[in-house]
Structure 1
Amino acid sequence: MELVTHSEIDEVLANTLMALATPVLPQHFSTLVKRLAAFDNLIIIAYHGEHRPAVLYREYTDPVVYLPMDSQYLGGDYLLDPFYREHLRGDVHGIRRLRDVAPDHFRRTHYYKNYYQQTTLLDEVAVFANITESDTITACFGRDRTSGKPFNKRELEALQQYELTLSSLLKKHWQDYRIEGVGKAPPAPLEERLREALNQQHSIRLSPRQAEVALFILRGHSSLSISLHLEVSLQTVKVFRRQLYAKCCISSQAELFALLMPLFARLAEHQ
């Protein structure tokens, strides 16, 4: 990637500022980011609490990258996504790289193998901008099989240098955006909704802690990572896993994924 001068950045930034509150802002925003770090694909997503996300804009070089987006990601897979989990932390601004916020065993999960490998994504960086207490705009820039390589150190440093500017542009442009059809009442916590769905569909009654552990497993947390998050011993986590698998009559993460993902799709339908 060629070095970009400050005057070039300044010119593109000025054009982006002029495009605020107009339909062409996403294209100018894309051009600005490309001056800092060339990417293969871009998707801008609006998150509203624990409701189903909405896609606001997308562009790509290889169309395969977003083929599973509407059916799988928006169909329920987002519930396991690291960027979605980052949004739920609240008040998140600036740059996040997927590999830095993903759980330690994320690449071993069936979510990663069934969704991310289909997209051919090799690396992904997101700009976060909170527009309300529960609403977040996220612009995700990816490298896929088109370039065949991740972002390098210089590109990541350039994005970090402008992270407040990029975040502020998103926040200003979409400051009045609200997801249509979303009620004011937030849904029950995912663990609670999952327990109810499992009971209704399969007559499986999990405890709150067992449901919590199930979600940690599917998101890609190792037993050690789960123990650190729950502040319990590693042995206690292993007990929870055995109890969970026994109640569900399964013996592997693959079976847990196969059991729960159809339920996630139903839970997403009602958000």
Structure 2
Amino acid sequence: MPEWPRRFSALVKGLAAFDNLIVIAYHGERRPAVLYREYTDPVVYLPMDSQYLGGAYLLDPFYREHLKGDVRGIRRLMDVAPDHFRRTHYYNNYYKQTTLLDEVAVFANITENVTLTACFGRDRSSGKPFGKREIQALRQNELTLSALMEAHWRGYRPEGEAEAAPAPLGQRLREALEREHDIRLSPRQAEVALFILRGHSSLSIGLHLDVSAQTVKVFRRQLYAKCNISSQAELFALLMPLFARLTEKG
């Protein structure tokens, strides 16, 4: 196994004990790559290759942080997750499988489009989240940790970097729905669908779109009617297979 990630792991463990670590490279809107992982309980990463890399990452709060661009330092998952994240089918059907109880990521910028995250987790191995002092210690050292990652992986470039960037997810999703299900969504309806699956309440969606919560509820009703569904669970079941195919080529 690579020596530098092990040393980095030991350094962070001196600040906050963790049960698992995974380093993920995000490259624009393409499928991410796993650069390193370690764990106490192997069950924590069993859904990673098939489910997370197979499309579930599109709903991950850490992936959404990457898309903001120029992100460095520490992020705790539940601090950046949408207000209804724990109600989502992503959380209940994917995240709970991992047995993760808490997760903190160190973000590092490699290029304009490439972000690395070193995600440190607490799972059923320890059975408890990170403590206040541990989070404080990580935050006090966050820029140093980011700088160390950037220095080590400064030469990293993902496969296919020279290829043209894919179309925005909403556009690709609309095209796939029309092609495979003969469902024609407007750009706004596709946008609302993605917000719902990521765990945003109507109020949160309204704040992002600069419309009222009541208007969001109208969009939601229109979306469900076009898709012939009546719940978030059905929306998840409809769209997740499409996500997997949309990311097959990275």
Q: TM-score, normalised by structure 1?
A: 0.91
CA distance in 2, matches of 1:46, 1:67: 18
1:134-179 CA distances to partner (integer Å, 9 max, x unpaired)? 0011100000000000001000000001101100011011111011
1:64-106 CA distances to partner (integer Å, 9 max, x unpaired)? 0000000000000000000000000000000000000000000
Which residue is equivalent to 1:266?
245
Q: How does 1:247-258 map to 2 (within 5 A)?
A: 247-258=226-237
1:166 to 2:108 alignment: no
Which amino acid is 2:94 matched to? Y
Number of matched residues? 250
Which residue is equivalent to 1:175?
154
Which residue is equivalent to 1:113?
92
CA distance in 2, matches of 1:113, 1:85: 19
State the SS of the aligned residue for 2:147.
Answer: helix
CA distance in 2, matches of 1:182, 1:193: 19
Which residue is equivalent to 2:164?
185
User: Post-superposition shift, 1:180?
Assistant: 1.4
State the SS of the aligned residue for 1:211.
Answer: helix
CA distance in 2, matches of 1:56, 1:77: 18
**Alignment check: 8 A CA contact 1:44 1:58 kept:** yes
Which amino acid is 1:31 matched to? A
- Which entry has the higher C-alpha Rg, 1 or 2? 1
User: Post-superposition shift, 1:184?
Assistant: 3.4
State the SS of the aligned residue for 1:36.
Answer: coil
State the SS of the aligned residue for 1:132.
Answer: coil
Which amino acid is 2:159 matched to? E
1:67 to 2:61 alignment: no
| Sequence identity percentage | 81
CA distance in 2, matches of 1:121, 1:23: 25
1:43-75 CA distances to partner (integer Å, 9 max, x unpaired)? 000111001000000000000000000000000
User: Post-superposition shift, 1:182?
Assistant: 3.6
Which blocks of at least 5 consecutive residues in structure 1 are unaligned?
1-21
1:239 to 2:218 alignment: yes
CA distance in 2, matches of 1:182, 1:218: 28
Which residue is equivalent to 2:63?
84
1:32 to 2:6 alignment: no
**What RMSD over aligned residues (CA atoms) do the two structures have, in Å?**
0.9
Which residue is equivalent to 1:15?
none
**Alignment check: 8 A CA contact 1:41 1:141 kept:** yes
- Runs of 4+, deviation exceeding 3 Å: none
CA distance in 2, matches of 1:255, 1:174: 41
